[in-house]
Amino acid sequence: MQTQSIPENQLISICIPTRNRPAVLEMSLRALIEVVREPSIGIYLSDNSSDDETRVVVAALASEYPYLHYSRCPEYLEADENFERALKLSTTKYRWLFGDHYKIVDEKALKQVLELLEEDFDLIVLNSNKRIRNLVSGVYTDKDATLSTLGWHMTMMTALVYNSEFLAKLNFPRFKGTFLSQTLTIFERLAESRFSLYWVQDVVIGSFHFDPSTSWHPRALQIFVRDWFHGVMSLPPTYTFESKKLAIMSHASNVSLFSLKGMIYLRGLGAINLKSVKAYIKELPYVFRADRLLYLLLSLLVPVFIARFVQTIYFKLNPEKAGHLPKAS
């Protein structure tokens, strides 16, 4: 094992929930270790009962970086439960919830995050490539402004750095099963007390391509039509109705997963079909603007086998774009 002269960082740790994605997890961990080695940031993995070589992959990397910590769930948990479990494996002041196919773009981006930790914010929200443009960095203390402006982006788990004191007050079980507890619990808490949140405009987060069959993408409409709509609308009435409406519709309007290309991608996964559209027909007008509804209807006209064939050919012709599948969170 490689020796580490600097003690493990007690200010911040990276907390990764994972399950059955050893190949992309290995890429993510190698990239992370390269960036976090100098400040000795601990990486805490909560393995949701993987039945593959995840443990072996992590053990090999732990021999190279001693602050890589692995914990396997004794039994399978809901994804939201594993998010919470990952965050609570560490005891550092700040916990950075981190998806298992993401990376920090470079040392400069990490340094910017580390510099903010001395300010004692309740939350730090980080930008990712092609997500939010033209929203300057700054402090948010108003719950409605935070929900309407940043709410949709905060569904991306890797964008969230929690102060441990704030984290301890979050009620994750309330939104169990939504894949959105990491976001909705935050906004429920912001309605109850004063807070200080810092938004970072510069791009901090990058990502790797992953197998969509191992992700939540096949449940995209359930999560970001039904659960997002009802989750936001169930937030305390101290939020204005207008800020809730803006938050709900901003997600589908901004993410590439619900572009025409993204809809066809979801069609190929089987996530978009007549049954799923009928199931969420009441929520769709509140979640999708007219252009997105049109894309949804157009994607229904594409046979599933053709959607899959087009996607396969596209990535064979453009292998450099295989790491840029539409993102939804």
Task: Cite the DSSP H helix spans in 18-175.
Answer: 22-36, 54-62, 79-87, 107-116, 143-150, 164-167
CA 42 to chain centre: 19
The pLDDT of 271-288, averaged and rounded, is 96
The pLDDT of 91-97, averaged and rounded, is 98
Give every CB contact of residue 322 below 8 A, 6+ residues apart in sequence.
Answer: 209, 315
Domain boundaries, the chain: 12-207, 216-321
pLDDT exceeds cutoff 90 at 329: no
User: What are the C-alpha distances in Å from 72 to residues 45, 98, 154, 225?
Assistant: 8, 17, 27, 32
pLDDT exceeds cutoff 50 at 196: yes
- CATH number of this structure's domain 12-207: 3.90.550.10
Residue-wise pLDDT tens digits, 38-80: 999 999 999 999 999 999 999 999 999 999 999 999 999 999 9
Give every CB contact of residue 315 below 8 A, 6+ residues apart in sequence.
Answer: 321, 322
Residue-wise pLDDT tens digits, 203-227: 999 998 877 767 888 999 999 999 9
**Using N-to-C axis directions, what is the helix angle for 290-300 and 260-269, rounded to 10°?**
40
Helix (H) or strand (E) holding 232: helix 228-233
- CA dist., res. 155 & res. 64, Å (int): 32
